[in-house]
Amino acid sequence: MNPPAPSGYALPPQRSTGAAPATSTLREHLAGQLRRLLDAADVTCSPARDAVRLLPGLLGPAAGRPLSAGPLSPSFVSDDHSPAELSVSFAADGAPTVRVLVEPGCGAGTAADSGRAGLRALDRMASCWDVDAEPVARVTDLFLPAAARGPFSLWCAVDLRRTGPPGVKVYLNPEAHGADRAAEVVEEALTRFGFRAAWPALTARAESWCPDRGRLLFLALDLGHWQEPRVKLYIAHQGFSVEEAEAVAGLLPGRNPRRAGDFCRTVGGGARRFDGLPLVSCLSFTRRDRERPSGHTLHVPVRDYARDDRVARDRAAAVLGAHGADVTLLDKALAAMTPRRLSDGVGLISYVSLARSTGGPPRLTVYLSPEAYAVHPPHDPSRDTAPGERG
Ligand code: TRP
């Protein structure tokens, strides 16, 4: 039986290529991928080992279920409804980090139950790594109301580094009170965290923020061990052109937005308009600037603009190479995820992102789908041409 489609962004379901994994349960599958990915990136300190140990308990009721039984509930973390996503983040001149994103409340029942499961998982992470989760309590009424709505309640992520304690992140749903109240919820949350002036400054730039073509996807909080914790706002842009994405990138003061445009062109394979899966911008706010973003990230959903993962890999390798990052780590990371041939499916690489900030060098991140339940077959070959010009 197929679960209902989630109301997030995913490639439309297709019959799997059958290349899905042979291991028995979700927790085994993901723990294996995470262990291999950490080894590939040489992230082997004890907090990273803690993450491998903690992971099964963060996956909720789906953890011990056989993969052959299919997803317990239609998580939209990953396209095949795996309630997890892994990613590798590359700095031009620094060490990589390995990140894990999970939906602990997947399959928990109501949205409110799911929110409670998310908070319990967050507690476990917070006590393991000595993180203060208090900022979440400040906005519980906004994002975790008793009658919460929407496709998810709370996701947690951990950013694992070669040395030192990990950073923890929490993702909240701006549509918890309904899509029509998302802007109000985000404005109130920004205000509570000290960024009252940010929202009017953002919405005044109509070319960057088009309410009829944008959706407020997540409000995310950095918790614990960060040099400069951020409050992040994710916006999905329906049918944006490269130039429109560049205009959003221009909200970051003092940095050249063309970099984001060039990145978007390369990863999108020359697409001029992204009218399949949307581009996603993330604007981050820190105490360094209370009104304007201190960071901007552009996520390109490469899986909808490339025929297969070989093409997606080559584009990711091109942008990594151009930034002086370690391309061999990309190949090791892909091999850590799956033994399948890259050209046999699409969606292993879900997004490639470029993060720029006023406080440091750029970072590139490659997002990896666990492909626990399905491998999406390659697209029709015409996908390799600019999707904006597709029939
Ligand atoms: N799968 C969802 C989507 O593609 C949510 C998501 C997972 C996402 N990882 C992401 C969104 C990274 C933006 C960036 O929308």
pLDDT of residue 90: 97
Tokens 């197929």 correspond to 2
**Each residue's pLDDT tens digit, 324-352:** 999 999 999 999 999 999 999 999 999 99
Contact 278, 9 (CB under 8 A): yes
Q: What is the pTM of this model?
A: 0.94
Would the pLDDT of 19 be above 70?
Answer: no
The answer, yes or no, to whether any atom of ligand 1 lies below 6 A from the CB of 9, is yes
* Residue 235 three-state SS: strand
More confident residue, 24 or 7: 24
> Is the predicted pLDDT of residue 23 greater than 80, yes or no?
no
Average pLDDT over residues 312-331: 96
* Whole-number average pLDDT of the chain: 91
pLDDT for residue 3 is more than 50: no
77 Cα: distance to centroid of ligand 1 (angstroms): 6
Residues 295 and 8: their CA atoms lie apart, in Å, by: 24
> Ligand 1, atom 6: nearest CA belongs to which residue?
77
Cβ(139)–Cβ(220) below 8 Å: no
Statement: residue 2 has pLDDT above 50: no
pLDDT above 70: residue 210: no
DSSP 8-state secondary structure symbol assigned to residue 12: P
Helix (H) or strand (E) holding 356, with range, is strand 349-357
* Atom from ligand 1 closest to the CA of residue 353: 14
Q: Of all protein residues, whose CA lies closest to atom 14 belonging to ligand 1?
A: 299
Chain-centre distance for alpha carbon 138: 23
CA nearest ligand 1 atom 9, residue: 77
User: Does the C-beta of 193 come closer than 6 Å to ligand 1?
Assistant: no
User: What average pLDDT does range 276-298 have in this prediction?
Assistant: 96
Is residue 371 within 8 Å of residue 16, measured between CB atoms?
no
**CA-based end-to-end distance of the chain:** 33
User: Which range has highest mean pLDDT (207-211, 267-271, 357-361)?
Assistant: 267-271
Domain chopping of the chain, boundaries: 26-385
Length of the chain: 391
Q: Which of 283, 369, 371, 368 is nearest to 89 (CA)?
A: 368
In this predicted structure, the answer to whether residue 25 has a pLDDT above a threshold of 50 is yes
Q: Does 155 sit in the ligand 1 pocket, CB within 6 Å?
A: no
With a CB cutoff of 8 Å and minimum separation 6, the contacts of 160 are: 38, 43, 47, 48, 51, 97, 98, 99, 100, 166
More confident residue, 20 or 332: 332
Q: How confident is the model at residue 7 (pLDDT cuts 50, 70, 90)?
A: low
pLDDT digits 0-9 by tens, 31-67: 999 999 999 999 999 999 999 999 999 998 899 999 9
Supply the pLDDT for residue 5.
43
